[in-house]
Structure 1
């Protein structure tokens, strides 16, 4: 009997030790996520704390965190007194987690920021502005698009089951350059910035392309990462192309279900690019496709080292966003000043559609070639190491394996579909053969609750 009690006591001790260990590592990530999400949704997304707590932070275990807004435009999240994280809002930079740096040091940072043009988009026609010209009808009777398209868009907002909230917040359809459909969920409109999550990777890839056009970067040169130049483990051979294609070979764990490299990077590290670059090689560069937010943040660090601090924080705005009329866009930084190129861009749905339209136009906007003329073609060519032909340069593809299309992500959709994609259902989908850009933004906790393939097929049927 005593032996059984001793075994039970040992098992209980092991269980408690693991629980303490897990909480010690998980709670800072939980509070970091909560503080950052509440801060950005409020100050950039013009949301109330109540709505964020009910939606983004309303599920377990996120609801364990207590969130408070401070008078100095910061947000503090705590869990049972065991963990505390703070996110600070700074105009032009968005919200930044206070990691490995003091709040005072963070607030003292001074970067060269862009000046927002004094332009009223409502006075300028789409796509450069937000004034939508009245479309002329082909006949007195409504055509198929006018009958079916509103139904196709509306269906994206309908829950399949009451316990599976789709939470679609915006749908836009751009056909042949015209904004032909637009709908928002209650509490949202065309002025609300919405979070990219991993659609930010496609912006990072776009900025790399612009530096290639300027002759400041070469795709097949060793990536200019300072810490790799003296490494002897093979990292010095990793190229810019391999980072774009997610074939760097770095030993980085992209798992969000527990404390991992990805969650530690986003919610506990000041310098996300440097943190990822410090990881060792796992496989030979170029040999294996492995989707990693770390690769995207290394690319963001490369942008900074190439441009220098005098240009870095202005470059995306002056060279890309403002040229497209994307006046709402904000790229958030980590505590070191690097853009979080993997995850944190806020922009209105119309601005996301503009970025998609740039790609549909092969990188040309208002007769100015912003990207290399062959960039979109290269960016949408499947990575050889990707088994289903599903990835290009920080962009997802529907190409399928070259030997057959049966393994395409969306088998019934056109093979030339490519798209920017982010957590919880953020998507900008481009179909060149249909001259189509579709934006769907929301907060769908489970990807199975929203059927992208059916959604896009309804729109394709409507515009034919």
Structure 2
């Protein structure tokens, strides 16, 4: 089954670049290159020096890693003291985009129909008002479930309770137990619980939990890309905690982003079904006053129109810019009150290449 993106909608998306002829894929090592002619190197140096200052700047907090891929080559990387290419970094919510890829693999296998009612045991009764919620609505954060996404410890927070409290042993069951607050499809609300429901549905479709699902992830996603550092975390019920926990090196996060920049194709082989990447970057309807536009488990436009990104707590980002054939990875520890500033910094970094 192909992804649910119409030809008309896909025609409005910027084209995804193809692999440059003769350039090796980065399965073993990233091909290295120089900054393109015309890059604003002085501005780029200023931005990097600011982010990686010995004393972390107040506006960004700590920046642990920055990796820039341009035209399939590693053209710039920098690490903070104590970090380097071999240090794994937390994904936080960047794992949501990895979960999107896992669903895509199962869609390609014919094991999931994202427009059918999701396989959620808690909603199996047809009289349950949640019964008709589809994986499409879950992937678009439009389920209508009453789940509170708040990371401030003193605030009421369903995500903290799910990850570290009463829900930690069975994150999907915890999230699926919430009632509806809105009619499904009528209200957009970013929620980590949503992703863990999706992750369990993927495991049920694959017929694999815990170590078996981890083996599925490696065989079908991580190993083909050369993501040797990837460490996904599972709860006691065997569900991949796809909302929050997949550790990788920055270069491996760049590999994952590169798969999406290359439309789900790797080494000339299609891994994700045709249209699945376009589905990820097709805008979802949202009510006004949200953090920013959203697709399907990917965020949109933080580095200009047409860009899309995997975003995580405390400033973890993998940003794809199709018009520039570019991936930017940033990892760090940004204070909550400054959470928008890494987005601006990344946009400024990308703009240094728009003159090239």
TM-score, L = length of structure 1: 0.65
What is aligned with 2:199?
A: 300
What is aligned with 2:260?
A: 359
Q: How big is the shift at 1:231?
A: 5.4
Q: Matches of residues 82-231 of structure 1 in structure 2 within 5 Å?
A: 127-130=26-29, 132-133=31-32, 135=33, 143-145=37-39, 147-148=41-42, 149-158=44-53, 166-230=61-125
Deviations, residues 159-187 of structure 1 (Å, cap 9, x unaligned):
89865662100001001111100000010
Q: Does 1:446 align with 2:336?
A: yes
Q: 1:283 to 1:369 in 2, by over 3 A?
A: same
Q: How big is the shift at 1:392?
A: 1.0
Unpaired runs of 5+ in structure 2? 1-23
Instruction: Give secondary structure in 1 for the equivalent of 2:39.
Output: helix
What is aligned with 2:311?
A: 421
Counterpart-to-counterpart distance in 2, 1:259 and 1:234: 25
Contact 1:150–1:181 at 8 Å: present in 2 too? no
What is aligned with 2:297?
A: 394
Contact 1:174–1:437 at 8 Å: present in 2 too? yes
Counterpart-to-counterpart distance in 1, 2:258 and 2:26: 9
Q: How big is the shift at 1:156?
A: 2.7
Contact 1:198–1:342 at 8 Å: present in 2 too? yes
Q: 1:167 to 1:137 in 2, by over 3 A?
A: closer
What is aligned with 1:45?
A: none
Counterpart-to-counterpart distance in 2, 1:393 and 1:163: 32
Contact 2:307–2:321 at 8 Å: present in 1 too? yes
Q: Does 1:316 align with 2:217?
A: yes
Counterpart-to-counterpart distance in 2, 1:129 and 1:380: 28
Q: Matches of residues 239-318 of structure 1 in structure 2 within 5 Å?
A: 239-257=134-152, 258-268=155-165, 269=167, 270-309=169-208, 311-318=212-219
Counterpart-to-counterpart distance in 2, 1:161 and 1:325: 32
Deviations, residues 268-293 of structure 1 (Å, cap 9, x unaligned):
22100011111111111111100000
Contact 1:153–1:459 at 8 Å: present in 2 too? no
Q: 1:386 to 1:379 in 2, by over 3 A?
A: farther
Greater Rg by CA = 1
Q: How big is the shift at 1:379?
A: 1.1
Deviations, residues 335-378 of structure 1 (Å, cap 9, x unaligned):
21111110011000000001111111111111111111111111
Contact 1:424–1:447 at 8 Å: present in 2 too? no
Counterpart-to-counterpart distance in 2, 1:166 and 1:126: 34
Counterpart-to-counterpart distance in 1, 2:217 and 2:287: 29
TM-score, L = length of structure 2: 0.84
What is aligned with 1:58?
A: none
Contact 1:247–1:288 at 8 Å: present in 2 too? yes
- Paired positions, count: 322
Q: How big is the shift at 1:227?
A: 2.1
Counterpart-to-counterpart distance in 2, 1:126 and 1:150: 28
Q: How big is the shift at 1:323?
A: 0.5
Q: How big is the shift at 1:259?
A: 4.0
Q: 1:136 to 1:176 in 2, by over 3 A?
A: closer
Q: How big is the shift at 1:454?
A: 3.9
Q: How big is the shift at 1:136?
A: 7.2
Q: 1:230 to 1:171 in 2, by over 3 A?
A: same
Contact 1:233–1:281 at 8 Å: present in 2 too? no
Q: Does 1:371 align with 2:268?
A: no
What is aligned with 1:340?
A: 241
Q: Which runs of 4+ in 1 moved over 6 A?
A: none
